[in-house]
Amino acid sequence: MAILKAVSTLLMMLFSCAALAKWHVQEAKAMGTLIRMEVWSDAEMRKVDSIFDQALAEIERLESMLSTYRDSSDISVVNQNAGLKAVKVNDEFHYLLERSIAFGDMSQGAFDITYASVGHQYSFRDGYKPSDTFISSHLSLVDYRLIKLKPTGEVYLPQKGMKVDLGGIAKGYAVDQVTKLWQARGVSHAAITAGGDTRFIGDKRGSLWNVGIRHPRNPNKTLMTLPVSDLAISTSGDYERFFDDDSGRVHHILQPSTGKPATGLSSVSIIAPESMTADALATSVFVLGTKQGLALINSLNDVSAIIVDHQQMIHLSKDLVELNQ
């Protein structure tokens, strides 16, 4: 009798867990974009809420450090002291600057966080772009190689008016950090998206995640669908922040050598093991263009690219071409 009772209790517990197990979805606004989180869990709702709360708290922590819209953020303090003095920063911020410089070297300057020295003059909400005179007089400030990182943890921007902006890796890094926190809690099936950056934990409970590459000029049309699991994908496009004027499309992805929007491509999607790498490479390839961009991606391990040019033609990295043959 006792055995039957124990078995009955166990079955009730199993059925209870099965009833709780489902996908939980939450959305929020942070880092100037939409954050979407999907988690598979059989835990009680309060525990699921704590998973989401932990993610949003981490994103807020990073935003308070990396947002150029907050005067007290670490990055704003560095920019405010350009040409004046070195600023002591925390180890994490110092690391992100180091990685940004490394991405600049890897892309031969296509990825340049000092683009902000000119880029912050653009207002996509107001449809404003700086004059050619302003750009030419400030373009010498756009050079990530001028950034002075000291072993003591200080950073110095040597010229007044110089600015850095980590928008090219911040969301990707935030997604990676949330992923680490969730994995430490035992989350084995999940996805988190911040704007164009998505990181997947595991598969979608027995099936692959299907990621659609949107048509740059028709948001309701999908150019191709990629089945993926346990990796990151980041997309940069000229349709994210832009306005159109007589010169054409004015968007937020600037060519560091000109201080003006990069031309030739409409979108770039990068698949990589981590979001920060995918994020930085998406920007880099967009600036480099199809030929140089594919050459860069094909030289790297475990990285793939889907490029859509201005004629809406799709170009794939070598590994994806071979996969489709």
pLDDT digits (tens, 9 = 90+) for 70-101: 999 999 999 999 999 999 999 999 999 999 99
Q: Do 259 and 317 fall within a single domain? A: yes
CA 296 to chain centre: 19
Q: What is the DSSP string of 150-165?
A: -TTSEEE--STT----
* Cα(231)–Cα(79) distance, integer angstroms: 34
Residue 163 lies in a domain: no
Same domain for 246 and 320: yes
Contact 117, 163 (CB under 8 A): yes
Say whether 230 sits in a helix, a strand or coil: coil
Q: What percent of the chain has pLDDT over 70?
A: 94
- Each residue's pLDDT tens digit, 150-187: 999 999 999 999 999 999 999 999 999 999 999 999 99
Q: Please report whether residue 275 resides in a domain.
A: yes
Domain that holds residue 303: 20-66+168-324
- Residue 6 belongs to some domain of the structure: no
19 has pLDDT over 90: no
Q: What is the pLDDT of residue 323?
A: 84
For residue 79, give the CATH number of its domain: 1.10.3980.10
Decide if 14 is inside a domain: no
- Give the pLDDT confidence score for residue 6 in this predicted structure: 40
* Calpha distance 227→124 (Å, rounded): 34
Name the average pLDDT for the chain: 94
The Cα 37–Cα 295 span in angstroms is 34
Q: Are residues 220 and 315 in the same domain?
A: yes
Residue 234: CATH number of its domain: 3.10.520.10
Residues in the chain: 325
**The pLDDT of residue 20:** 63
Q: Are 83 and 162 in contact (CB under 8 A)?
A: yes
**Higher-scoring residue by pLDDT: 325, 318:** 318
The domain boundary residue, chosen from 89, 123, 156: 156
Give Rg (Cα) of the chain. 22
Q: Which residue has the tokens 């990073």?
A: 62
Task: Say if CB 228 and CB 222 are below 8 A apart.
Answer: no
Residues 95 and 129 in one domain: yes
Within this chain, do residues 48 and 117 fall inside the same structural domain, yes or no? no
Assigned token pair, 284: 């880099």
Which residue bears the tokens 């990396």? 66
**Measured between alpha carbons, how far is 185 from 197 in angstroms, rounded to an integer?**
22
Within 8 A by CB and 6+ apart from 188, the residues are: 40, 201, 202
What average pLDDT does range 118-145 have in this prediction?
98
User: Phi first, then psi: what are they for 228, rounded to 5°?
Assistant: -140, 165
Query: Quick check: is 11 in a domain?
Result: no
pLDDT band at 317 (very low <50, low <70, confident <90, very high): very high
Query: Residue 321, Cβ neighbours under 10 Å: how many?
Result: 13
Domain shared by 314 and 183, yes or no:
yes
Quick check: pTM over 0.85? yes
Amino acid 324: pLDDT: 77
Report the candidate in 51, 42, 76, 5 with the shortest Cα–Cα distance to residue 191.
51
Let me know whether 61 and 142 are in one domain. Answer: no
Q: How many domains does the chain have?
A: 2
pLDDT at residue 244 greater than cutoff 80:
yes
Residues 262 and 310 in one domain: yes
Average pLDDT, integer, range 237-260: 96
Contact 187, 195 (CB under 8 A): no
Mean predicted confidence (pLDDT) in 129-144: 98
**Mean pLDDT, rounded, for 6-32:** 66
pLDDT of residue 5: 43
Residue 291 lies in a domain: yes
Residue 161 maps to a domain: no
| Domain membership flag for residue 178 | yes
Burial classification of residue 322, based on how many CB atoms lie within 10 Å of its CB (0-12 exposed, 13-18 middle, 19 or more buried): exposed
Residue 81 sits in the same domain as residue 190: no
Q: What is the pLDDT of residue 12?
A: 41
* Last residue in a domain, options 156, 182, 216: 156
Whether residues 184 and 299 fall in one domain: yes
239 with 103, same domain: the answer is no
More confident residue, 231 or 323: 231
125 and 200 part of one domain: no
Segment 214-228 shows an average pLDDT of 94
Residue that finishes a domain, picked among 156, 183, 218: 156
pLDDT for 16 beyond 50: no
Higher-confidence residue of 15 and 108: namely 108
Contact 104, 144 (CB under 8 A): yes
Residue 138 structure tokens: 């400030």
When pLDDT is averaged across residues 242-258 and rounded to a whole number, the result is 96
Amino acid found at 74: D
Distance CA 19, CA 128 (A): 54
